[in-house]
Amino acid sequence: MAAAPAQAADSLAKAMAGPDWPHSRADFKPDEDARFGRLANGMRYVIYRNTAKGRSASMRFQIAAGSLQERDDQRGMAHFVEHMAFRGSAKLTDGELARILKKEGFGFGSDVNAFTDYETTKYVLDLPSNELQPIESALFILREIAGNLTFDADAIEHERGVILGEERMRASPASRGQQVMLEAAYPDALYPQRNPIGTLDSIRTAPRQALVDYYQDWYRPELAVLVVVGDFDVAGMEKRVRAVFGDWKPARPGPIRLFSYTPTPVEGVRAVVYSEKNLYDGLGAAWFRPYIDNPDSITSRTTGYLKNVGVTVINERFSRAAEDPAAPFLSANVGYDNSRLGGNVTSLWVVPKPGRHKEAYLQALRMVNRLKAEGITAAELTDYIATSDAQMENFVRTYQTRFSNDIAEEILSGLVYDNVFETAPQLRSDWARVKPALTIAAVNDKIQIIFNSDAVLLSRQGEDPAVMDEAALTAAFAEAGATIDTGPTVQGGSIAWPYTDFGPGARVIDKTRVKTLGYTHYTLSNGVRVNIRPSPLVKNQIIVKVRFGGGYRLFSPAENISLAQLELYDLGDGGLGKLSRVQADKAMSTKTVSFAYDLEESAAVMTGYTTRDSFAAQMQLLMAFTVDPGYRPEMFENVRLALDYMYQQVRGSPDMTMGFATSAWLAGNDPRYVLPAQPVMAQRKPDDIAAIYRRTLTGVPVEITITGDIREDAAVDQVRKTFGNLPQVPDTVTVAPGAEQVKLPADRTQQVYYHEGRADQSISLVVFPATDALTNTDDTRGLMILAEVFNARLDEELRQRQGMAYDGYVGLTASETMKGFGYMSAQGTIPPDKDQVFHDTVLRIAADIVAKGVASDELERARNPMVQYLSDKFKNNEDWQRTLAGLFGNPVLWDYRVGEYRQYMDITQGDIHVLAKRYLKPDNVLRARTVPGEP
Instruction: Report pLDDT digits (tens) over 109-134.
Output: 668 899 999 999 999 999 888 888 88
50 pLDDT band, cuts 50/70/90, is: very high
438 and 551 share a domain? no
Same domain membership, residue 661 and residue 567: yes
Which one, of 734, 636, 627, lies nearest residue 690 by Cα?
636
Residue 332 to residue 283: CA distance in whole angstroms:
9
Domain count, the chain: 4
Is 474 in the same domain as 525?
Answer: no
- Determine how many CB atoms are found less than 10 A away from the CB of residue 460: 27
Q: Of 868 and 300, which is predicted with more confidence?
A: 300
If pLDDT is split at 50, 70 and 90, which confidence band does 221 have?
very high
Angle between helices 777-795 and 856-872 (to 10 degrees): 110
Domain co-membership, 543 together with 672: yes
- Boundary of a domain, candidates 680, 707, 725: 725
Once rounded to an integer, what is the mean pLDDT over residues 173-184? 94
Give a yes or no: residue 111 inside a domain: yes
What pLDDT is attached to residue 109? 65
Structural domain contains residue 115: yes
Residue 36 falls inside a structural domain: no
Q: Answer whether residue 687 shows pLDDT above 70.
A: yes
Q: Which amino acid is residue 552, in one-letter code?
A: Y
Is the pLDDT at 1 greater than 60? The verdict is no
Q: How far apart are CA 477 and CA 474, in angstroms?
A: 5
Q: Does residue 483 have a pLDDT over 80? A: yes
Which CATH number goes with the domain that contains 789?
A: 3.30.830.10
Q: 161 and 303, same structural domain? A: no
The β-bridge relationship of strands 926-932 and 751-755 is parallel
Cβ density class 547-583: b for 16+ within 10 Å, e for less? bbbbbbbbbbbeeebbbbbbebbebbbbbbeebbbbb
Q: In which band, very low, low, confident or very high, does the pLDDT at 626 lie, cut at 50, 70 and 90? A: very high
234 and 279 within one domain = no
| SS3 call for 686 | helix
Split at pLDDT 50, 70, 90, the class of 3 is: very low
Percent of the chain exceeding pLDDT 90 equals: 81
Query: Does 365 share its domain with 234?
Result: no
- How many residues in total does the chain contain? 935
| pLDDT of res. 5 | 32
Specify if 116 maps to a domain. yes
2 pLDDT more than 60: no
Q: What is the mean pLDDT of residues 619-638?
A: 95
Q: What is the pLDDT of residue 873?
A: 67
My answer on whether 237 and 158 are in the same domain is yes
909-919 vs 777-795: helix axis angle to the nearest 10? 80
Residues 290 and 161 in one domain: no
Nearest to 203 by CA among 80, 65, 69: 80
pTM as predicted: 0.90
Mean pLDDT is lowest, of 160-164, 219-223, 736-740, for 160-164
Contact between 548 and 706 under an 8 Å Cβ cutoff? The reply is no
Tell me if 548 is assigned to some domain.
yes
Note down the domain range covering 613: 508-725
Rounded (10°) angle between helices 856-872 and 909-919: 100
Task: Look at residue 363 and tell me if it is in a domain.
Answer: yes
Same domain, 523 and 475: no
Q: How confident is the model at residue 492 (pLDDT cuts 50, 70, 90)?
A: low
Looking at residue 4, its pLDDT comes to 33
- Flag whether 261 is in a domain: no
| Sign of the four-CA dihedral 46, 47, 48, 50 | positive
Q: 236 with 278, same domain?
A: no
The pLDDT of 153-166, averaged and rounded, is: 91
Q: Rounded to 5 degrees, what angle do the CA atoms 35, 41, 44 make?
A: 30
Q: Is 227 inside any structural domain?
A: yes
pLDDT score of 10: 65
Sign of CA dihedral 793, 797, 801, 806: negative
Tell me what percent of the residues of the chain surpass a pLDDT of 70: 98
Same domain, 566 and 707: yes
Q: Which of 210, 245, 280 is the last residue of a domain?
A: 245
User: Cβ neighbours of residue 485 under 8 Å, at least 6 residues apart?
Assistant: 363, 366, 367, 369, 370
